[in-house]
Amino acid sequence: MTSDPARPFGRVLSAMVTPFTDDGSIDLAGAQTLAAHLVDRGAHDGLVVSGTTGESPTVTDAEQRALLEAVLDAVGDRAAVVAGVGTNDTAHSIDKARDAARLGAHGLMVVTPYYSKPPQEGLLRHFTAVADATDLPVMLYDIPPRSGVPIEVDTLARAAEHPRIVAVKDAKGDLGAVAWTLARTDLAYYSGEDMLNLPLLALGAVGVVSVVGHLVGPRLAELVSAVEAGDLEKARAVNEHLLPVYTGIFRTQGVILVKAALRELGLPSGPVRPPMVDATPQQLDQLRTDLAAGGVIL
């Protein structure tokens, strides 16, 4: 776990997939192998487990507890392990947060409650209630294309008054709102939308929570370092080289194609769970082309 308060979860984190066996059951040994691969060889400071890329809506609470425990056992002594605990039920989210704290998670990620479309006051009460439930630092996850509701700047400013709400994973696509939030708060911003990694870092984000980090972790670390050093020419060059990877992984839902890529690389991933569907042969051919253009050979 990083000791830098300006970068509470490190610089590069992957939103880790949840490996399954061929019959669809959770693959805990595979999760440990993948986590160790990412941390030991992928320039990762941390991992987010049981986020959307981890297919959390289809993974039971018991499975999520077992997954978190397995990943902590594998890499918890050398990387920040952040548990996705957000749901659209505040009481359920509090229970999941307490479970994660009991198991030894280093932080919590709390997504905007989805489907219900609560007002901003409801969002604030939800986030602060979860933050009150443990002593762990909290990263809010702002992703209105999925949650239906953005976290407004004023709400973020009020949430930032809570001593344990320290960061935001941003996938809102509103650079103006990010700029205003950074101007008004000390929240640490993490890019949660790979295509916008460079502009968010240029605005002042401290790192990324990435899907493509499964494949290009070292280059994401290089991108962050270049921006921090003020070398925007290098940062633009790194980002341009990554564009085919960004595009390729998100031609359909990201977990589908990143799992397909991991399978091709011989790393644990397994199938996706319904209602997701595995990549078609045609999608896999296109993925190979996209990733090769970005320097990743399957």
**Contact indicator for 81, 46 with CB cutoff of 8 Å:** yes
Q: What are phi and psi of 188, to 5 degrees?
A: -85, 125
- Of 210, 207, 239, the closest CA to residue 224 belongs to 207
Q: How far is CA 108 from the centre of its chain?
A: 11
Q: Give the residue among 122, 75, 59, 72 at the shortest CA–CA distance from 102.
A: 72
141 is annotated as an active-site residue? yes
Residue whose tokens read 């640490």: 188
Q: Which of 169, 189, 246, 259 is catalytic?
A: 169
Catalytic option among 96, 114, 141, 259: 141
Which residues belong to the active site? 141, 169
